[in-house]
Amino acid sequence: MLWLLGHGVQRSPSPAMQNAALRACGLQDWRYEIHDVAPAELGAALAEMRAGAARGANVTIPHKRAVAAACDELAGDARLTGAVNTVIVRDGRLVGDNTDALGLEGALRHQHAVPPPGFSAVVLGAGGAASAAVLAATRCGAAGVSVVARRAEAAAAVSGATAAVGWDTEAVAAALGQARDPLLVNATPAGLGDLPLDLDRLPPTCTVVDLRYRPRPVDLVAAARERGLPACDGLEMLLHQGMLSFERWTGLPAPWDAARAALDVAVSAP
């Protein structure tokens, strides 16, 4: 058994994607299921994992940091970000990893959405996805990454960011206007109407990425494309981070085509 350990994530398309990948690899006795756990029950769920109830898990809102603190060992980007999105159970020990930044980097490269080296990135949000976006942008060659968040102290605390910008349309327009080939990433759950953005003031070379993937088309992505800007949503990132998790659990190469096809069907469902 593999779990998606989260709270209030019943509509996640990850089970469809991961179960298709397991089937494509002939892992008939494996299954990926949502395991909805309130924060107060997290310790009990992790104890069940240690006892063999699951071979591994994805971890999502609101448990990524709490699971990092509870793991027996951290690996990969979980060491850098202090957040875990993937747990591998080894001999009753919980190894926590994080595939979000590598997943976003892979998705940007796959979609040819990486600006030329030396670009500037502006990331909206200061949570787990924003930390991954800062790491991914840096690995893709960003010369600087500014974080924009509604809480200034949260923006200042994002590791790897080179500047913090206030949650203010003027300040964001100024940051993007001065940037070289900017990459703008929305790493909040907020929609276009709640973001401090005036799309008409984005430079024509700005690449726009929204980590949300539902409802499609994602409003920010659609509005950016209407203005002729390159833009993509978070679906490809979901696929990449999920397949990197799959490889960590199973030791097998990910069956990308089967997983992508299942994910497309799952997110198209009403």
CB of residue 197 to ligand NAP, shortest distance in Å = 11
**Cis bond before residue 217 (omega within 30° of 0):** yes
CB of residue 180 to ligand NAP, shortest distance in Å = 25
CB of residue 212 to ligand NAP, shortest distance in Å = 5
Nearer to ligand NAP, 50 or 62 (CB): 62
Report which secondary-structure segment, H or E, holds 233: none
Nearer to ligand NAP, 154 or 258 (CB): 154
- Rounded CA gap, 203 and 252, in Å? 42
- Phi and psi for 15 in degrees, rounded to 5? -60, -40
Nearest-CB residue for ligand NAP: 127
Provide the token pair at 12: 């996640």
Strand locations in the chain (E): 2-6, 32-36, 56-59, 73-74, 86-90, 93-97, 120-124, 144-148, 163-165, 183-186, 207-210, 231-232
- Rounded CA gap, 41 and 38, in Å? 5
CB of residue 8 to ligand NAP, shortest distance in Å = 11
CB of residue 221 to ligand NAP, shortest distance in Å = 12
AA letter at 133: A
AA letter at 108: L
Nearer to ligand NAP, 186 or 250 (CB): 186
Which residues are part of the catalytic machinery? Answer: 64
Side-by-side strand order, sheet with 86-90: 32-36, 2-6, 56-59, 86-90, 93-97, 73-74
Residues that bind ligand NAP (CB under 6 A): 61, 100, 125-130, 149-151, 154, 187-190, 194, 211-213, 234, 237-238, 241
Nearer to ligand NAP, 213 or 246 (CB): 213
Nearer to ligand NAP, 143 or 164 (CB): 164
- The 10 Å Cβ neighbour count of residue 28 is 8
Cα–Cα–Cα angle for 167, 59, 189, rounded to 5 degrees: 25
